[in-house]
Structure 1
Amino acid sequence: MAITDWPKDERPREKLLQRGASALADAELLAIFLRTGVTGKSAVDLARELLQEHGGLSGLIAASRTQFCASHGLGDAKFVQLQAVVEMSRRYLAEELQQRPVFSSAAATRQFLAAQLRHEVREVFAVMYLDNQHQLLCYEPLFYGTIDGAAVYPREIARRALELHAAALIVAHNHPSGVAEPSDADIRITRRIREALGLLDMRLLDHCVVAGPEVISLAERGLL
Structure 2
Amino acid sequence: MNQSAREGYRIADLDQSQRPRERLERLGAGALTDAELLAILIRTGIPGENAVQVGQRLLNKLDGLRGIHQAAFEDVCQEKGIGPAKAAQIKAAIELGRRMAQESPRELPTIHSPQDAANYVMYEMSALQQEELRVMILDTRNHVLKIEQVYKGSLDSSQVRIGELFRTAVKRMAKAIIVVHNHPSGDPTPSPDDIAITRAIVQAGKLLDIEVLDHLVIGQGRFVSLKERGLGFG
- How far did 1:182 drift? 1.0
Question: TM-score normalized by structure 1?
Answer: 0.85
DSSP-derived class of the 1:190 partner: helix
| Counterparts in 2 of 1:61 and 1:15: CA distance versus 1, 3 Å | same
- How far did 1:155 drift? 0.8
| Counterpart for residue 36 of structure 1 | 43
Structure 2 CA distance for aligned equivalents of residues 65 and 125 of structure 1: 28
CA deviation vs aligned residue, 1:161-219 (integer Å, no higher than 9, x gap): 12333221111111223322112211111121122222221111000011211200011
DSSP-derived class of the 2:112 partner: helix
| Counterparts in 2 of 1:6 and 1:177: CA distance versus 1, 3 Å | closer
Counterpart mapping for 1:136-175 below 5 A: 136-146=144-154, 149=156, 151-175=159-183
CA deviation vs aligned residue, 1:88-123 (integer Å, no higher than 9, x gap): 34225x639x5442116x434222332122122221
Match of 2:110 among 93, 96, 101: 101
- Percent of residue pairs identical: 34
| Counterpart for residue 6 of structure 2 | none
Larger gyration radius, structure 1 or structure 2: 2
| Counterparts in 2 of 1:84 and 1:56: CA distance versus 1, 3 Å | closer
Structure 2 CA distance for aligned equivalents of residues 108 and 27 of structure 1: 28
DSSP-derived class of the 1:103 partner: coil
CA deviation vs aligned residue, 1:10-54 (integer Å, no higher than 9, x gap): 11111012112232122101112x242355454323212211211
Moved over 4 A (4+): none
Question: TM-score normalized by structure 2?
Answer: 0.81
Contact 2:126 / 2:221 at 8 angstroms: preserved in 1? Answer: yes
Aligned residues: 219
Q: Which runs of 5+ in 2 are unaligned?
A: 1-8
| Counterpart for residue 92 of structure 2 | 81
- Matched residue type, 1:119: A
Contact 1:182 / 1:209 at 8 angstroms: preserved in 2? Answer: yes
| Counterpart for residue 128 of structure 2 | 120
Match of 2:207 among 184, 195, 199: 199
Match of 2:227 among 203, 219, 222: 219
| Counterpart for residue 46 of structure 1 | 54
